[in-house]
Structure 1
């Protein structure tokens, strides 16, 4: 049976932390592939600050040089909130011979009891909890724990650095940095007017 890791998120923008997590889980769990799944509307966050077309283009650019990373637009192709249960249900219908490993950060592990249809979901997919120093993977749900090198990078931090005209070199792949610059993503309204 094929083993596929799933990494969901707004990817607004995708950054080096996302890629390190995906690569480490890929190797440690001996997966066949990792699929990046940009969300349409995440149920636990506000809407993304960037249009879907830009987020998809950035993910494509970020994973372009990796032969076991793939983009799947299953949540974007479906309107409304992107509930994991619906995504996994559909993926299992489309790919019945695939075992899915849903990758979540340690911060999300504590929220599992609040997830939509979590008791059904836990029987449909294996959850992979990415360990971070400031969080314990303390849960009653079955979680595969994976240690990841500590990288304190977030999409919010990158967006703020762009707004403040600070460099984001090495925080995101150079191809993503180019797209951010070319499309003037995340710039403050003052910077946009000045240009």
Structure 2
């Protein structure tokens, strides 16, 4: 039986904070793999700035070199709003022998009661909550807490820095930085 962590997000762009969280959860929970799952259209956020194919490519570049990480494109292939319940139904059907762990930040733990079909979802997946400054991991649903190094990096800050021609070195993997420069994503034109 394979134990697989799912880290969903827009990855607009992916950064070292995402990678550190994924590795910490993988190691702490003894997971076989962590799948980075870019969403097409998240139900709780604004639409991504970068095109879907660019976000998938950046995620692929970000996880390259870690044999425990991969990119799962099930949500971007489905189009429309990405509800975790629908995704997990499909993944459970495709991988009946896998145990799935859905990795969420503490901000999302507070939001769990409003997730689409949460009562059924908690029977399909185990939630892993990553501690985050200013948030509590208390929930009526079972959430396993994992401590990860707190790095105050956000995709929003990276986009802001790029728009103002500021450096993002060490904030994203070098392969992602090269892609951003090559495509001139998020730059003020």
Whether TM exceeds 0.5 here: the answer is yes
Report the alpha carbon displacement of residue 184 of structure 1 after superposing the two structures with TM.
Answer: 0.3
Query: Are positions 1:30 and 2:19 aligned together?
Result: no
RMSD: 0.6
Q: Rg bigger for which structure? A: 1
Task: State how far apart, in whole Å, the 2-side matches of 1:57 and 1:92 are.
Answer: 25
TM-score normalised by structure 2 residue count: 0.99
Report the alpha carbon displacement of residue 161 of structure 1 after superposing the two structures with TM.
Answer: 0.5
Q: Which residue of 1 aligns with 2:151?
A: 151
Q: Which runs of 5+ in 1 are unaligned?
A: 190-195
Q: Which runs of 5+ in 2 are unaligned?
A: none
Q: Which residue of 2 aligns with 1:17?
A: 17
The number of equivalent residue pairs is 189
Query: Are positions 1:112 and 2:112 aligned together?
Result: yes
Report the alpha carbon displacement of residue 133 of structure 1 after superposing the two structures with TM.
Answer: 2.7
Task: State how far apart, in whole Å, the 2-side matches of 1:5 and 1:25 are.
Answer: 8
- The correspondence of residues 26-175 of structure 1 with structure 2, limited to 5 A, is 26-175=26-175
Please identify runs of 4+ aligned residues in structure 1 that moved more than 4 A: none
- The 3-state SS of whatever aligns with 2:85 is helix
- The 3-state SS of whatever aligns with 1:110 is helix
Report the alpha carbon displacement of residue 143 of structure 1 after superposing the two structures with TM.
Answer: 0.2
TM-score normalised by structure 1 residue count: 0.96
Report the alpha carbon displacement of residue 3 of structure 1 after superposing the two structures with TM.
Answer: 0.2
- The 3-state SS of whatever aligns with 1:93 is helix
Residues 60-112 of structure 1: per-residue CA shift (max 9 Å, x gap): 11101100001110001102100000000000000000000000000110000
